[in-house]
A and B are shown apart, each in its own frame.
Chain A
Amino acid sequence: MTRLKALNKSTRNNIIVLGIILVIYVICRILMAAGAMSNLMQGLLVPLCYYSILAISLNLTVGILGELSLGHAGFMCIGAFMGAFFTKCTENSISNVFIRYGIAMLLGAVCAALFGGLIGVVVLRLRGDYLAIVTLAFGEIVKNIINALYVGIDNKGLHISLQDAAALKLAEGGEVIVNGAKGITGTSRDTTFTVAILMLILVYFIIVNLINSRSGRAIMAIRDNRIAAESVGIDITRFKLLAFTISAAMAGIAGVLYSHNISSLVATPKNFGYNMSIMILVFVVLGGVGNIRGSIVAAVILTLLPEYLRFLADYRMLIYAVVLIVMMIFNWNPACIAWRKNHPIKGVLQSVIKKKEGSASGKEGGKAS
């Protein structure tokens, strides 16, 4: 009986979320068909999806595993460049967009996952703050290298250089694909709203099902108490790596969506730098650390708000900063905790903070270290 109830609960939640996303999708489609949607909004539809994916992905690391990653934009960057590179190389040889885009997506995700695994191996032995700084360093390294990376293709194959385009020594008819700080230009814009929504749904289901499975519980056990998790025979290394890899793969997917939504891909501090990693972190914190649905809601609200309230645009970053500080103090200061207990108002803010993902995902992580 209890099994049915438990299973039903997470399945029921899944179906509700799926329903809501589909309804929003259909409404958007109708508005677009009727010409009732502004160009601004149409342009935001795909970004909303990849920001949500990024927020979900970072929430896996921060909320479920309980470790802070400040290099998430780096994984996104890897996915974006890998995907765009593949598309650019095969634009003429693979004519079927679905196959080409599908492979680009897979390649972006796998590549980001590989780097996620790699960085996972490095940070496994480190405590929280060190881990944050190493992931930050990683993000900067990725951005730095991509900006100095030249890749060209000719009939002899790939040429790679870290100096300049001339050093590629391309044969006649060869083409420079990744052009250092100028990045990749002229990729076909294959990302559609439909694809982006499908990827969002996919990522959401992967995470929610993961949380409610054996591996997800192991990851949360490590977050809640590493020593106790070891004492019941949970392989810490394995599950930390697993969480890192999945999280990176998802950021890679967001990157592929991003790079196929613009015509010219460059790595700047704005799109793949520290600021981006912080913005994703703000989504996660405002949506509730460990709350997957909250991440989506926060990503959507914080993306739309500055676009529609133009006077806010200048203060956008400032607001992000205040959100981080206030949310942490509100959630953790003993005085605030006591105040919340005495004032159990089911306000919007509080339900966003306190709402639990299924029976499992839990609230703040990070106590393990």
Chain B
Amino acid sequence: MSFISYLIKGISLGSVYSMIALGYTMVYGIAKMLNFAHGDVIMVGGYIIFIVMSVSGLNPIVGVLLAIILCTLLGITIERVAYKPLRKASSLAVLITAIGVSYLLQNVALLIFGADTKSFSSVIKLPALKLAGGALTISGETLVTIPLCLIIMVALNIFIKKTKTGRSMIAVSEDKDASVLMGINVNKTIAITFAIGSALAAVASALLFSSYPSLSSTSGAMPGIKAFVAAVFGGIGSIPGAMIGGILLGVIQILSSAYISSQLSDAIVFFILILVLLVKPTGILGKVMHEKV
């Protein structure tokens, strides 16, 4: 029974990872850059919800909605101020800038909220489900997280396949220059991608911190990096890949910390990343990219 409960816990954490991984994979596919600051947007989302709930005592839903709005704006602003001026720069320069933005967000949060860890109270008020005569307990957070993530995935997939904006995103990810010739506003498309990614990060923050309630200025970094690992795992640029990768990663993490060593669970996750990249550098569902000579 404990195995099943770990498995469910893993899938739940994995669903959150896949939602964060979506942000990475979409931005990577479209802007061809690793948005290192994505994980820190989650942290910002967490603080927004925390403030709304603890200070104003409003309904948690208000907090989540506000977090979605503010994170979306934050994502667009970051893109506008830090990344847009570097469209033509080398990938190394863009990566260093992204690391700078990530570091900036962390340290601004540190200055505002201090170094002490805040205890986040769950936004989900659903009672836990007891199965098999109490041998298997599924928390309310898990009951919400998994279906919500599934719904968002499906909705996103429909949005990208069926709407004009979604299709222009595919076009830009395939060939930026050709998209310009086809009359697609590349800058706008990239901004929308950042907006969607950041909004998803805000939702992920509500779910993540409800299950793992310690909130500090660096609590976005590790989930962020792991979600990126998940995106790489599933094949960067691929939306179903992000989902599969996220869930696999969540399950691996929870199971390895339960059965091998909780101290080494991060090391195991990263070790798997290295293995995957060695065996199949494009990930599970990734495409091989050719460099034009």
Contacts and interface: CB of A to CB of B under 8 A. Distances in A.
Are A and B subunits of one complex?
A: yes
Interface of A: 62, 66-68, 70, 122, 125-130, 132-134, 136-138, 140-141, 144-145, 147-148, 162, 227, 274, 278, 281, 285, 289, 314-315, 317-318, 320-325, 328-329, 331-336, 364-367, 369
Interface in B233-291: 261, 263-264, 266-267, 270-271, 273-274, 277-278, 281, 291
Given A317-B110, A328-B97, A333-B85, A66 B267 contact: no
Interface string B66-110: 000000000000000010011011111111110111011011101
B111 interface: yes
Contact of A329 (B85, B99, B267): B85
B277 A126 contact: yes
Nearest to A128: B91
Q: Is the interface of B mostly helix, strand, loop or mixed?
A: helix
Most buried by B among A127, A130, A331, A334: A130
Interface of B: 28, 33-34, 82, 85-86, 88-97, 99-101, 103-104, 106-108, 110-111, 221, 225, 228-229, 232, 261, 263-264, 266-267, 270-271, 273-274, 277-278, 281, 291, 293
Contacts of A67: 92
A185 to B, nearest CB: 20
Nearest to A145: B267
Contacts of A366: 90-93
Contacts of B106: 317, 321
A11 B281 CA distance: 43
Contact of B100 (A125, A128, A322): A322
A62 B281 contact: no
**Ranked 9 nearest A-B pairs via Cβ:** A366-B92, A324-B100, A332-B89, A137-B270, A321-B104, A321-B103, A144-B267, A333-B85, A325-B100
A209 to B, nearest CB: 25
B264 A328 contact: no
Given A329-B97, A366-B93, A148 B277 contact: no
20 contacts: A66-B92, A122-B277, A126-B277, A130-B232, A130-B281, A132-B34, A137-B270, A137-B274, A140-B270, A144-B267, A145-B264, A145-B267, A162-B264, A278-B103, A317-B103, A321-B100, A329-B85, A329-B86, A333-B85, A333-B86
A134 B97 contact: no
Q: Is the interface of A mostly helix, strand, loop or mixed?
A: helix
Contacts, number: 139
Contacts of A162: 261, 264
A322 B92 contact: no
A145 B96 CA distance: 27
A227 B291 contact: yes
Contact of A281 (B91, B96, B229): B96
Contacts of B263: 144, 147-148
Contacts of A144: 263-264, 266-267
A92 B86 CA distance: 57
B81 to A, nearest CB: 8
Given A129-B91, A133-B225, A137-B229, A321 B266 contact: no
A140 B267 contact: yes
Contacts of B270: 137-138, 140-141
Contacts of A147: 263
B107 A335 contact: no
Contacts of B232: 130, 133
* Residue picked from B33, B82, B277, most chain A C-beta under 10 Å: B277
A133 B273 CA distance: 9
Contacts of A278: 99, 103
A135 B33 CA distance: 17
Given A130-B232, A138-B270, A274-B221, A365 B92 contact: yes
Contacts of B93: 328, 331-332, 364, 366
B131 to A, nearest CB: 34
A328 B33 contact: no
A203 B106 CA distance: 33
B92 A335 contact: no
Contacts of B110: 317
Given A132-B95, A315-B111, A322-B104, 10 more contacts: A68-B92, A125-B277, A136-B225, A148-B263, A278-B103, A281-B99, A320-B103, A332-B88, A333-B85, A364-B92
A328 B281 contact: no
Given A62-B92, A122-B274, A126-B281, A133 B34 contact: yes
Given A162-B264, A321-B100, A367 B90 contact: yes
A138 B101 contact: no
B266 A140 contact: yes
A73 B108 CA distance: 24
Nearest to A329: B85
A325 B267 contact: no
Nearest to B231: A133
Contacts of B271: 137, 141
Contacts of A125: 277, 281
B256 to A, nearest CB: 12
Nearest to B34: A129
B229 A133 contact: yes
A136 B221 CA distance: 12
Most chain B CB inside 10 Å of its own CB: which residue of A128, A129, A227, A321: A129
B224 to A, nearest CB: 11
Among A144, A323, A367, find the residue whose CB has the most chain B CB atoms closer than 10 A: A144
A128 B93 CA distance: 11
Contacts of A369: 91
Contacts of A148: 261, 263-264
